[in-house]
Structures are given as structure tokens and as C-alpha cells.
Structure 1
């Protein structure tokens, strides 16, 4: 059976990686791979190179227009995905399209498969977050035929909107597979990225804070960076995704390019990211990795703003507003008060045991592509 995996960003690819490896091991499944988005944009690190270094053959590259930080750019990307993937899925004789999460590029990919009567399997459906992507995630779930949920609560949300029970599987998050499978290499990772061996460092990951307004909040990144500058702490800053508003982030961090203690990374393989997360003193930002991967690593996280509102979290997360004084005060307290810091390391992972990829592939191997699978009934 031909499984086409669609990926459009480095963060989403990192979760798909262990599943793709398991598909390649399967005797009854064959992997097809379609990529787009930041994988093909040099200004965001061209993560296509990482995919190829990981040994995967890319069957389809859906080119995107010259990057512009506008809403219109997103519609152009979505249009390209719908057209190009739609042209190729039938040629590939794809049996199932496998997608993950809530990226806006994923929705047109799913719609293309839906119109071609190709079943869709969706990973991380039923989750909640605090940005506009919630609507996209649930639209994807409504069009999908198989749901691989990370938690029971996410599965219950899909049941409440009428998805049939037999389509829903609770498998945990493949993020935890990466945590489990990547060996600890702190000294190696510090040397690779020029981080002093004898200094604690902050890991910062900030994405646009979009809640559906016409313009993303313009000063949130300046507030966060002003806090970091006041601390003068060794800091690793990873480039954001290319959502609307990302240029506000990249423009601000470029101002710190020549600061000796500030390290800017455009693109990081998921294996390196896991080790940066393990090695850092603290993760600061609004990335879902602070909620999911960091909980498995037992790493304290300062989660800023509203982007992750509603997402299930463990006891490692400290939710703060974008307020410079509060951010600085909290980080200084964690640095000075060991007991306060340790309190946030005593946490329980709620996203699975690190075997999600095996579960997903085993289920895919058992799926029969027929009219029962394709014809959805909404149970209300």
C-alpha cells in the first residue's frame, strides 16, 4: 500500500521522521514523500537538505513563490499545494495521504486527496492551541478518515464533533519517539553550535502570535528580546516558521547577529534540537515543543503569550505574558533558587511512551481502503 507523507516545515517533519522510518521498514507499506514550504526556502534554512541527509527520497517538490510576509503569500502557497499535489496523487497511485498537525499548507493537501477519493490519515487531531490554526486543525480532522490522536482528551474532542469511534486511535505523540531514540550528546552539540561548555544557556523559539487578527502583535518579539538582552545570558535562538508575522521576528533577531553570547540558528535537525533542549538551562518562547518534548525531557519551560493556550501540559510549564520585567524576574529566580527550578523538573509526560510511530504503522498496515473507509458518517 502506497502511503504519501506530506510535509511543509522542519518542526512538522521532525514528528513525521520516526513514522517515515517505520514505513520504510514495513513489508506491506511503501513510502512516498511530497514536500513544500520552508523545506524549499533558503531564507528559512532549506530543510530539504536535512530530509535528503536522513536518506529519504523526495517524490514531489511543490515550489512556493518568492517569500513575502503577507496573507496573500499564504493563499498562493495553498493554491500551489492544491494544484500540484492534486496533479500527482493519482499518478503516484497513492492509497493513503498521511499528514500531521495544523499548518495552513496541510489543509489544501488534504482537500486535494479528499476530492480524489484518497483516504486521509491525520496525526495530532483534536489538539487545542491558542492561535488561528485551531480552525485549520479541526477542518483537517473533518475531512480525514483516520485519526491518530496524541491523548485521550484530544480523541474525546473528535468524538464530540461526531467522528466515528472506529476511526479514532490514541497513539501518543511521535515527538516522544524522537526524545527516546536520540542519544544524549551535550558536548558535541555545544561544540557544533559554538556554545561554551562551561556556561548555562537559554534556548529561545518564538513563532508569530496570530489569533486571527488582521496583523499579528508587533512588539511581542521585541519584549522577549529586551528581556534576553537585560539578562545577557548565553542564548541560542532558532528561526521561526514562515507564518504571517515571521519577518517581525527575523528582523529583530538580526540586530543581535554580532552579539557574542547570542547564537542564531536558521535550521536545526531534529536530533540536534532534542540535544539543545536537553542541554539548555531553560526553554523560552511559544513553541509546542515546550509543551510536548520538554515534558518528556523534564525541562522547565517559560511559555510566552497565547499561542499554546488550550494545549494539554505537564508541570514543567510556566505560563507568562509578554512582559519584560516578569520574564526577567522569573528567569533570575529560577537561576538563583535551585528548589524552585527543580520543582519544574518533577513532571510527568502525558504524550506517550515513545512508540507512536510503531503504533501508527501497525494500524496503517491493517487498514482496508474501501467504501466503508471513504464514506464518513457524523455521529451527533
Structure 2
């Protein structure tokens, strides 16, 4: 059975329809839980409710398998209900490294609870094996998020004007900055503002998008609202289905989003990855890494927009796959019932 769990009501269902699924081909369950307070206390208050509701949903729906993606903190409350219920768990994007985010710990914890691992790169497969998982449970499928980018389709100048209400003036930068969650430093707004200011100064047009629901979100959103009021940049909460076309149009991506690491190479887009949130993650040669400091951000954006680096980025092969991962993942999910729930820990000797 196909089950979609949405956070804002209707979001998951609408995304499934956009992907081509017809009504009646899936069942959408809205648990009615929303994170109104993106802080550690807010997360801790919502988590037990999420866990209880997931347990009830599993008992009602009786799935053969549950597929979870990545490393979000919510998985700490979703996954135990699956495991305790004896349902097979398929994990996407295990084995990756993001040392600057809380996600790092969550991802590896989910790996040990999962039955099957659909990993994006050879390096990720090696790390999952280091965690004691057996080879027959590890499958290098590529990153599923790339599948919707098989045929890049840039916006025309007319389409850009119609969508954003202003002409397209190059260079066009897209900027997303998330709180650096591992350190919980409390200055997310100030860190984000320097990224936004340097990007706007370098751009002919800048598109700024909201951060995820981590502690520090409110401070960053306050900075974005101030910028939007000043009219110096386009500010959107989310680009939604328009995102692939915008990605195919931009001249560079700036911030600390995983999209810059995973997806930008498919579009040959230069990336300025700021700070430590994505530290340790495999990336293509199109990614410039810099510290959370204005001089480095300024110089890195300048480099990303140079003709030399633009040419280099056009030659990059995305290490996260070929935009054909969904069929590989489907085979793993369908065949997951053939693997027992009991797992042996595979020891790796020194030097292996």
C-alpha cells in the first residue's frame, strides 16, 4: 500500500498528484500535527504526539513496509513506532555526513534501525557498511530528488517577469540559509543576514527562500521579512513545483542547503556553501566551501560568478546519481519482505 503522511494539510497529497499519481492510487493521511514553535521545546512537545499518532496509523493501515528519507529530527519519533510494530523499514539517504547539523546523529541512528538502505553514493554505502550493515541490505540507488530534474527547463524572461513581478536581471542568485543546528549558537539571524546582504549586493536579481523548521528559524524569517519590506530581493517561503525551473535558470546558489550539495550539479550550477551545516558531505567540483564570515562569502560569490568557474561547473558530473533512482528504490521496497527482520552485525577489521 502507498501511504503519504502530510504535515500542512494537503501538501503531501498535492505533491503526489504533481508527480503523476491519480486520486485512488494512494491514500493520504493527515495526522493534524503542525510545528508552530520551531524551537527545541516546541520540537520536544510535538515529538511524543507524533510518535503516538504514527503508532495508531500503523495499526490502522497495516503497511508491509515504511519508507523514510534522510535525517530530520522528526524521524526520532516516527521510526521507533515502525520498528516496534515489526514493519520493515526502508531508509533513503543513509550514510551521508553533515557534521554541522543535528541531522548527522539522526541519520546514523535511523540506519541502525532500518532493514534496507537506499544510499546515494559509493561513499555513503561504505559508511553504512562501517555501521555494521550487511552488503545485501545496502543498495546504491542515487538520490531520488534528482529524478524530477531529468530534463532541465529554464524560465524564459517573460515567464520570470510573470511569476515574480520584476524583470530578470543577471546575475540571478538563489539563496537559502538554514540555522546551523549542531552548535545551537543562538545567532542564526545575524549569520543569515550577512549571507543575504552579500548575495543581494552581488546579484542583479536575488531570490531568497525560507529556512526549514529548526531552532533559529524565527530569527532568519524576521530578517527575510525585513528584506522583503525593503524590496531589495524576491522573498518566497517556498518555490514549490517551480523549484526545478528556477534552479535551471539561476547563475549560482548560495547558502547552506543540502540542495546545493545534492542537486545543483545536475544543473551545472555553481554553489557557495556557507558554514559547517553540510560539513563532511560529498560534493562536486561546482561547490565552493567558505566560512560564516563576510569576506569569505563575498570572495566566494565573486568566484562562483566568474566565467572560469561557470565553465568548470558545466563539466561537473553529479556524484549523487543520474536522475534514475526511483526505479531502483522501487525494486528494493517491493523486495524488502524477502529479507528477515533479524540482522547480523557485520564486523569490519582494521584496514578494510
TM-score (norm. length: structure 2)? 0.89
Q: State the match for 1:226 in structure 2.
A: 197
Secondary structure at the counterpart of residue 59 of structure 1: strand
* Contact 1:233-1:261 within 8 A present in 2 as well: no
* Contact 2:175-2:199 within 8 A present in 1 as well: no
1:344 is aligned to 2:308: no
1:295 is aligned to 2:265: yes
Report matched runs for 1:201-350 at 5 Å: 201-213=172-184, 215=186, 217-231=188-202, 233-269=204-240, 271-335=241-305, 337-350=306-319
Secondary structure at the counterpart of residue 63 of structure 1: coil
Provide the rounded CA distance (Å) in 2 between the counterparts of 1:343 and 1:52: 35
1:104 is aligned to 2:73: yes
CA distance change for structure 1 residues 161 and 254 in 2, over 3 Å: closer, same or farther? same
Structure 2 unaligned spans of 5+: 348-352
- CA deviation after TM superposition for structure 1 residue 59, in Å: 2.6
Structure 1 unaligned spans of 5+: 3-30, 41-45
1:147 is aligned to 2:114: no
1:86 is aligned to 2:55: yes
Q: Of residues 320, 324, 332 in structure 2, which corresponds to 1:355? A: 324
- CA deviation after TM superposition for structure 1 residue 282, in Å: 0.8
- CA offset digits 1:68-93 (Å, max 9, x no partner): 13201111222122100100112111
* Contact 1:65-1:76 within 8 A present in 2 as well: no
* Contact 1:189-1:272 within 8 A present in 2 as well: no
Provide the rounded CA distance (Å) in 2 between the counterparts of 1:186 and 1:307: 33
Identify which range, 46-55 or 289-298, moves more after superposition. 46-55
CA distance change for structure 1 residues 204 and 133 in 2, over 3 Å: closer, same or farther? same
Provide the rounded CA distance (Å) in 2 between the counterparts of 1:229 and 1:280: 14
Provide the rounded CA distance (Å) in 2 between the counterparts of 1:195 and 1:317: 29
Q: Of residues 15, 19, 23 in structure 2, which corresponds to 1:51? A: 15
Q: State the match for 1:15 in structure 2.
A: none
CA distance change for structure 1 residues 178 and 190 in 2, over 3 Å: closer, same or farther? farther
Provide the rounded CA distance (Å) in 2 between the counterparts of 1:47 and 1:247: 22
CA distance change for structure 1 residues 195 and 377 in 2, over 3 Å: closer, same or farther? farther
- CA offset digits 1:271-313 (Å, max 9, x no partner): 4111111111110000111011101111000000001111110
Secondary structure at the counterpart of residue 379 of structure 1: coil
Provide the rounded CA distance (Å) in 2 between the counterparts of 1:285 and 1:255: 18
Q: State the match for 2:5 in structure 1.
A: 34
